[in-house]
Amino acid sequence: MTPRKRYAIPLPGRAPLELGGCTLVMGIVNVTPDSFADGGRRFDPERAVADGLQMIADGAHILDVGGESTRPGADPVPADEELRRVLPVVQALAQDGRVPISIDTSKAVVAREAIARGATIVNDVSGLQYDGDLAAAVAAAGVAIVLMHTRGRSRDMYREAVYDDVAGEIGREIEAAIGRATSAGIPRDRVIVDPGLGFAKRAEHTWDALAGLDRLAALDRPILVGPSRKSFLLSATGDRQPPGRDWGTAAAVTASVLGGAHIVRVHAIREMADVVRVADRLRAAAIRH
């Protein structure tokens, strides 16, 4: 096991995001009525803000606010509805100021309005494939971007789940996404990459992606991994409702840290913050020996 490379991701209006020392925990704030993981409990903006503030108290280093479910089979949400859901939450959490706020969207208009209210990271599950204006919006604002690997859209992505070399193909397709970003004027040093566990990947592909995570280091960009409560875990644990998948998530988070992740995106912050601390210590011990 080799040390993770360290990165400092520039963020407008605040200190750079320092990555590669301790693993950072990104808290998921879904402002949707149909979230698979929390049953839509944060659809009320006041509840979403209160839960986000509690996540910070529990150890979250970043909050990721989203207003459109991206689970396989999900229906698209119009931009005006997505804006209505996320903007009050982004603004309130950004005003708190303790951690950077990420907007989980693939729409340029949503990204622009969220950035205007304090978001400093755009988390794009499409890898700049859905909205041709998003890259320019990110470049103009000087914010960071997470480029996730996927194929197709939520309603048909499993048709694209055909691989000969999962980790290798993910790496090549993310490199193409980085090319789309830099061609639009986004500096490479503002890019974070995500292998997209569960997106256009059946369970066996997701396990291969997680096992091959270290191969993404060749991209020379920090890595974000989001295993939290996802259905691939059920192939190991048996049937569990999303809140009952946290033990499986803990194992996947540990594997992510040991595989080189710089950030893990999770729901249960207090518990996963402890998992990350233990995994970081194990990783440090392995490097020493």
What is the CA 187 to chain-centroid distance, rounded?
19
Token pair 């992505």: residue: 157
Write down the catalytic residue from 112, 190, 245, 265.
265
Q: Respond yes or no: is residue 6 known to be catalytic.
A: no
Question: What would the two tokens of residue 13 be?
Answer: 């209006």
The pairing of beta strand 14-19 with beta strand 7-11: antiparallel
Q: Which amino acid is present at 83? A: L
Give Dmax (Cα) for the chain.
Answer: 54
Q: Tell me which H or E stretch contains 89.
A: helix 79-96
Contact 75, 102 (CB under 8 A): no
Question: What would the two tokens of residue 158 be?
Answer: 């499993």
Q: Which of 92, 96, 19 is nearest to 57 (CA)?
A: 96
Q: How far lies 234's CA from each of 204, 227, 228, 240, in Å?
A: 11, 12, 12, 7
DSSP secondary structure of 118-146: T--EEEETTSS-S-TTHHHHHHHHT-EEE
Q: Respond yes or no: is residue 230 known to be catalytic.
A: yes
Q: Tell me which H or E stretch contains 7.
A: strand 7-11
Q: How far lies 193's CA from each of 65, 111, 141, 146, 174, in Å?
A: 18, 18, 19, 5, 7
The span from the CA of 82 to the CA of 32, in Å, is: 9
Write down the catalytic residue from 107, 201, 229, 230.
230
The span from the CA of 101 to the CA of 95, in Å, is: 10
Annotated catalytic residues are 230, 265
